[in-house]
Structure 1
Amino acid sequence: MPFTYDNYKDILVALDGPVAILTFNRPKYQNAWTEEMNKEVIHAFEQFDLDDRVRVVIVTGTGGAFCAGADLRKGDFSTDGRYQPITINDHRDGGGQASLVIQRCRKVVIAAINGPAVGVGITITLGMDIRIAYKDAKIGFVFVRRGIVPEATSTYLLPRLIGHSRTMTLFLTGKVYPAHSPLLSLLFSSLIDTPDQVLPAALELAKEIAGKTSAVSAAFAKALVWRPKASPEEQHLLDSKAMYATGNGADGKEGVKSFLEKRQPKFAGTVTKDLPDFYPWWDLVDVRSKI
């Protein structure tokens, strides 16, 4: 299946070996989020998931911003005049659909937050695996100040990432904080001194992951964290199945062999061919748009 990444309007996609770099590309508007960008992000991540050339995805922004949130020049958040007639039960939040596609992607995803990330500009990163940020980047969950609610599945993700107390402070004040704020300390794996060093730091990490880890193991690890069972005992049974599958797989054998031989591993497994039949073990929910 051929994969092409050159027909987008509001994003750019470039491949650097096994690393795909997706860049929000509306610098005139601080990369503000549009419906077109939403569709393009979904399309790109659906391809990343199936493209075995891609081991790691980096998401960043062009110019001095990561993403300043929804482009309010396009209108408010009402459905009047923007969609076909639709009921409350049929409506689907676009940012949530994009966030879920990112979460379902079986590749490692790194957010390289090089500047302001506000509204959907920060919630879209919560389903990514690793977040690296410029230390003074403005971060804001501003929804209550716009008369709406936190979206893009952020009410599910953020408490699990930083705890309920900090989440409630961020959500209920709607204030904008620098990335180095103590309230955000658990959200970022590292803070970078200058904006222009964020992408290089992310790229260095991405290449290390791509070169030294198993794609199959990484996909399993992500899913075990975000799709756990209801009790430690049930999780143990799931862990055991995953250990059986990976330990008896080619990558599991290569990982041990390369360690004993004191050399870099040569993992050949892919998520499209080498995940076992019991993956995914969770119920798949249809969240496609009703219009």
Structure 2
Amino acid sequence: MPVSEPEPVTRGVLHRTENGVSWITLDRPEVMNAVTWDQRERIITLLADATADPDVRAVVITATGKGFCAGADLRGEHPGTSAIGDPAPGNSESANSAPGSPSAGGDPAPASSASPSAGGQEHVPANSAPGSPSAGGRERVPGDVARMIRLGAQRFISAVLDCEKPVIAAVNGTAAGIGAHLAFACDLVLAAESARFIEVFVRRGLVPDGGGAYLLPRLVGPQRAKELMFFGEALSAADAERMGLVNRVVAADELERTARAWAERLAHGPTRALALTKQLVNASLDVDRAAAFAAEASAVEIAMTTRDANEGVAGFVERRAPEYRGR
């Protein structure tokens, strides 16, 4: 399959398509890849594009530098505020911290960097009460913050969960707050030995957003989820693997190669069957047995109408490896 030409991209998000794999790379290492509003929107668009493009059959989300994603960067440019209630200027989580003070991921931030938030929330509690001004100058009213979360962090994580292609997270370093939830929302998680995962919200007196309280209990159970969220301690890659949050831990110099091997293997698989399987698994803990079985029966019937299903059966009968086309 061809490699796509480099395309104009939002600053801090690199993208290419290679061998049927859409590679989405966070590229602001100076702020541990904390995401701005426009970066978030770009990633949401790329995931939607991957769903719609039959030539894209798998996705990898990764990052450059020492951090995977340290949360949301409050100082990124935003075209408007009325829709999602973004913060007043200067309201980053560490706006009053000295240069070099700990960022959301607990690591020193460069003096010249923008400051990431405490996780994914684009507001500061002290200024989020009704009656305080929003960034657009109008008075903040009840519902603004909830709307901001729905259209921001939750929409971001939903874009990963709803993508109809398998999504792999290749976690190269610290994943904190919304960055950790971005990884946990992916279908498969690879982590470098140096990676860390931090439910950082409690350190700032905040409630986890971006689907954290939805994702974590489903991955590790409620007791483990509460331990991670109540204490906010950094979790090593090895411990995350033991708990079931990570599929495999590899050496840092093996991370991209392993992600490529996994993604290209998925890209050569029966794409529609994988999409239906993903939907079944993601919904399985939200429905009862009758609903799950009904959904399964429907998915099997749909899959059997695809060309790949016919090819799979033909390959079995003819005793050869099937050649799936994603159709």
- Does the TM-score normalized on the shorter chain lie above 0.5? yes
Which residue identity is paired with 1:189? N
Q: 2:183 & 2:66 partners in 1: Cα distance? A: 17
**Deviation at residue 83 of structure 1 after TM alignment:** 4.8
Which residue identity is paired with 2:135? R
Residues matched between the structures, number: 266
Are the equivalent residues in 1 in contact too, given 2:170–2:191 (CA < 8 A)?
yes
User: Unmatched 5+ residue regions in structure 1?
Assistant: 271-291
**Deviation at residue 182 of structure 1 after TM alignment:** 5.9
**Deviation at residue 39 of structure 1 after TM alignment:** 1.5
Q: 1:96 & 1:246 partners in 2: Cα distance? A: 30
User: Unmatched 5+ residue regions in structure 2?
Assistant: 76-89, 94-122
Q: 2:62 & 2:47 partners in 1: Cα distance? A: 14
Deviates more, 1:254-263 or 1:57-66: 254-263
Q: 2:135 & 2:23 partners in 1: Cα distance? A: 31
Alignment of 1:218-257 (within 5 A): 218-228=274-284, 230-257=287-314
Equivalent in 39, 54, 57 of residue 56 of structure 2: 54
Equivalent in 211, 215, 232 of residue 174 of structure 1: 232
Q: 2:322 & 2:9 partners in 1: Cα distance? A: 35
Q: 2:136 & 2:184 partners in 1: Cα distance? A: 27
**Deviation at residue 265 of structure 1 after TM alignment:** 1.9
Are the equivalent residues in 1 in contact too, given 2:169–2:188 (CA < 8 A)?
yes
Deviates more, 1:122-131 or 1:182-191: 182-191
Q: Does 1:261 align with 2:314?
A: no
- Counterpart of 2:37 in structure 1 is 35
Q: 2:243 & 2:136 partners in 1: Cα distance? A: 39
Q: 1:183 & 1:57 partners in 2: Cα distance? A: 21
Are the equivalent residues in 2 in contact too, given 1:166–1:183 (CA < 8 A)?
no
Alignment of 1:107-186 (within 5 A): 107-181=165-239, 185-186=243-244
**Deviation at residue 247 of structure 1 after TM alignment:** 2.2
Deviates more, 1:141-150 or 1:73-82: 73-82
**Deviation at residue 141 of structure 1 after TM alignment:** 0.5
Q: Aligned residues: percent identity?
A: 29
- Counterpart of 2:79 in structure 1 is none
Which residue identity is paired with 1:82? A
- Counterpart of 1:44 in structure 2 is 46
Equivalent in 63, 66, 71 of residue 64 of structure 1: 66
Are the equivalent residues in 1 in contact too, given 2:15–2:25 (CA < 8 A)?
yes
**Deviation at residue 84 of structure 1 after TM alignment:** 6.3
Q: 1:147 to 1:72 in 2, by over 3 A?
A: farther
- Counterpart of 1:273 in structure 2 is none
- Counterpart of 1:275 in structure 2 is none
Point out the structure with max Rg over C-alpha: 2
Q: 2:225 & 2:271 partners in 1: Cα distance? A: 32
Are the equivalent residues in 2 in contact too, given 1:33–1:120 (CA < 8 A)?
no
**Deviation at residue 9 of structure 1 after TM alignment:** 1.1
Q: Does 1:198 align with 2:255?
A: yes
**Deviation at residue 264 of structure 1 after TM alignment:** 2.8
Q: 1:84 to 1:48 in 2, by over 3 A?
A: farther
Q: 1:233 to 1:144 in 2, by over 3 A?
A: same
Q: Give the TM-score normalised by the residue count of structure 1.
A: 0.84
Q: 1:36 to 1:12 in 2, by over 3 A?
A: same
**Deviation at residue 24 of structure 1 after TM alignment:** 0.3
Give the aligned CA root-mean-square deviation in angstroms.
2.2
Q: Give the TM-score normalised by the residue count of structure 2.
A: 0.75
**Deviation at residue 5 of structure 1 after TM alignment:** 4.8
1:92 alignment partner, SS class: helix
Q: 2:136 & 2:46 partners in 1: Cα distance? A: 23
Structure 1 segments of 4 or more deviating over 6 A? none
Q: 2:240 & 2:166 partners in 1: Cα distance? A: 26
Q: 2:298 & 2:8 partners in 1: Cα distance? A: 40
